[in-house]
């Protein structure tokens, strides 16, 4: 069952990893790979990879019906639409009509249905649990994000060469970096070196 916690560990194909919290599960999903130049970051190679990602907290949607190749294709289509929509909003550009149509189409499927466990103190997802339902749930979350008060808080990392997008949920709304231990620290190091070069 979902909690409010988001974030995943991202791995760089060149080596290294870091924890990145996009502030919304749908945006975490957008960072599972991509097309073109982002294909090297792909993590959803097989239907089982999608099932494994969806089964992790906070969604914790353990599939009771095996993920199909068609659902994997749909997942990648949704992922690209979420990516495109987030970047458009971060750059204050209008969303492409096709992007909106994809998100709406996938959201139109039945979502995951919460169910109270027999002990009446915990909850999970009512079976059968299918990937199509989980994708609908992610698409609906993206709709809520784009149409809600946090829409203006969607940001792209301030680093010149980092395309990661996130929701700035900080109270002052001053988050600039995908992660301080990655781009934030790199920026600090470059600024320090620039100051030292100026002094010397």
For residue 90, give both structure tokens. Answer: 């971060």
pTM of the model: 0.88
Q: Concatenated DSSP letters for 94-137?
A: PPPHHHHHHHHHHHTS----EEE-TTSS-EEEPSS--HHHHHHH
**C-beta atoms surrounding 73 within 10 Å:** 11
Residues 6+ apart with CB under 8 A from 177: 157, 158, 159, 183, 184, 187
CA distance from start to end of the chain: 57
Q: How confident is the model over 108-121, as pLDDT tens digits?
A: 999 999 999 888 88
pLDDT in tens, the chain (200 residues): 344 567 888 877 777 788 889 999 999 999 999 988 889 999 999 999 999 999 999 999 999 999 999 999 999 999 999 999 999 999 999 999 999 999 999 999 999 999 998 888 889 999 999 999 999 999 999 999 999 999 999 999 988 888 999 999 888 888 888 886 768 555 455 544 555 556 55
Q: Based on DSSP, count helices (H) and strands (E) in the chain, helices before strands.
A: 6, 6
Strands 165-167 and 154-156: antiparallel
């Amino acid at each position: 069952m979902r909690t409010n916690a988001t974030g995943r560990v991202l791995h760089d194909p060149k080596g290294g990893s870091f924890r990145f919290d996009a502030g919304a599960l749908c945006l975490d999903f957008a960072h599972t790979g991509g097309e073109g130049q982002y294909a090297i970051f792909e993590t959803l190679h097989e239907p089982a990879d999608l099932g494994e990602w969806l089964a992790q907290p906070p969604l914790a949607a353990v599939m009771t019906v095996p993920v199909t190749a068609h659902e994997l294709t749909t997942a990648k289509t949704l992922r690209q639409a979420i990516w495109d929509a987030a970047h458009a909003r971060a750059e204050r550009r209008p969303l492409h009509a096709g992007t909106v149509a994809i998100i709406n189409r996938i959201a139109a499927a039945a979502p995951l249905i919460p169910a109270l466990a027999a002990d009446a103190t915990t909850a999970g997802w009512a079976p059968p649990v299918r990937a199509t339902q989980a994708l609908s749930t992610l698409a609906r979350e993206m709709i809520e994000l784009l149409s809600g008060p946090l829409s203006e808080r969607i940001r792209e990392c301030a680093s010149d060469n980092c395309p990661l997008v996130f929701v700035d949920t900080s109270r002052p709304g001053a988050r600039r970096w995908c992660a301080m231990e990655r781009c934030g620290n790199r920026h600090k190091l470059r600024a320090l070196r620039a100051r030292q070069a100026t002094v010397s």
